[in-house]
Structure 1
Amino acid sequence: MAKDSGAGLRESKKHETWRTLHACALELVDERGYDDVSVEEIAAAARVSKSTLFNYFASKEALLFDPGPGECGRWQTLADERPADEPLWVSVREIIRGRIAQNAPTLVIQRRILGAAPHLAQSTKAAGERFQQFVQDWVDARTQSNPVDPLCRALLVNTAFAVLRTAYLQWQPGDDAEHFLRLLDAAFGEIEAGVLDLPRPRTGSASDDRR
């Protein structure tokens, strides 16, 4: 029992150190800019050594964009909350929306950082792909007893994440998380209404119209 308690305390301490380093990195980079903050300064702000910092994060980019401890568990909780008889599209939409709501304060800061340093966008790719793979695996498991064509399962998840990426690109640095959620809801609404119902471009030239 004592061993379990000690292990739990050590794990809690590790999580706290991770969160402190992550928060210090976000605050300093948001305030001063990515290129004007060093890992040494982040370590000093968190009151740890540089070597300790690199025990938790592989790079300065990772300090800003790596998923936090327990992140996968929170995704699983969101998935577990979806009713068994809910349409898959609705479930996937709500899992994505729930993740944004959970991480809203961090996402707002990260969006400002990316707005000032667009070259960091590639650093967010791994975390996004990890979340998408989680959702894909969940959809695959959800449909085991009622087989759905693998093409349809992949298309559903890929479409939902295309909606997410489109809404994110329309979300401007400085806008709040509620605005991002409104953009996301609007984008999902367009898909659910049927993208083929969008206004079609006019054919013919202006000179044709004058005839």
Structure 2
Amino acid sequence: MAEPVPSAEPAPHGAHALGLRERKKRQTRQALRSNALRLVAEHGLDAVSVEDIAAAADVSKRTFFNYFETKEAAIVDFTPEQLSMFETVLAQRPPGEPPIESLRAIMMQLIGAQAEELASELEQQRRRLIQADPALSHRQLTVFGAVERIIIRWVNERFRIDPTSSLYPAVLAGASSAAVGAAFMRWDPATGVPRLLDLLNEAYDVLAASLVPPQGWRI
């Protein structure tokens, strides 16, 4: 998978708007992210320290570590809210829906909702940095692993699969990451997000045609 899912902070819904404290936390997290990205783009990852990022965001080094483990994490990691939202939308998919189709629908929904952000120069710059820097690329693999574990757990629970009895959930999770990554690698941002969604749909068509659930599964 070439992109975080989702890459934007989820917005509050309904009457339960974020309180002041939570809004400030999100603002601080975003300030740390944007300054980490700017400084690394300007100077290179090795030349930028956690202290530099914290100072640029006007917070302490201790505050930085309240949000991120490392400077790489500040550029690449999902927020807890993003992972929680991904779990929630997975759980809300209709009973009986094939797992590949659930993942297709969710990825199309989440990526489609980020059209403006994904096409922005800032996001393109972030992708270029990750692709060019081995430390950031390695961190991204760790992050994708967290998403894949959510998928594996969801498949096992929804279809009541003994985790030791089948490799299908793990293969599905990894293949879904690969499908999203392939779509982003092929995508030219100049063509717009609708083209990205076409590529994503095509990638999931390939999965649906080749990765079928084991015999005996009740989908």
Q: Tell me if TM exceeds 0.5.
A: yes
* Paired letter, 1:140: N
Instruction: State the superposition RMSD in angstroms.
Output: 3.2
* Percentage of matched positions with identical amino acids: 36
- 5 Å-filtered alignment, 1:12-31, equals 12-31=23-42
- In the other structure, the counterpart of 2:130 is 114
- The answer on whether the counterparts of 2:100 and 2:204 sit within 8 Å (CA) in structure 1 is no
In the alignment, the residues of structure 2 paired with residue 174 and residue 123 of structure 1 have an alpha-carbon distance, to the nearest angstrom, of 27
Which moved further from structure 2: 73-82 or 128-137? 73-82
SS at match of 1:150: coil
Provide Cα deviations, 1:52-108, integer angstroms capped at 9, x if missing partner.
223322211111112113112210232134222322220022233344445663654
Among residues 120, 128, 148, which one is paired with 1:132 in the alignment? Answer: 148
- 5 Å-filtered alignment, 1:34-49, equals 34-49=45-60
Whichever structure has more helix as a proportion of its residues is 1
TM-score (norm 2): 0.67
SS at match of 2:172: helix
SS at match of 2:141: helix
The structural deviation recorded for 1:119 is 4.4
In the alignment, the residues of structure 1 paired with residue 72 and residue 160 of structure 2 have an alpha-carbon distance, to the nearest angstrom, of 38
Among residues 179, 188, 199, which one is paired with 1:183 in the alignment? Answer: 199
Q: 1:177 to 1:160 in 2, by over 3 A?
A: same
The structural deviation recorded for 1:48 is 0.8
What stretches of structure 1 of length at least 5 have no aligned partner? Answer: 1-7, 196-211
- In the other structure, the counterpart of 1:59 is 70
In the alignment, the residues of structure 1 paired with residue 143 and residue 174 of structure 2 have an alpha-carbon distance, to the nearest angstrom, of 16
Please say if 1:89 is aligned against 2:123.
no
The structural deviation recorded for 1:127 is 1.1
Which moved further from structure 2: 72-81 or 27-36? 27-36
TM-score (norm 1): 0.70
- Corresponding residue pairs, total: 185
The structural deviation recorded for 1:124 is 0.7
Q: Which has the higher contact order (CA 8 A, sep 6+)?
A: 2
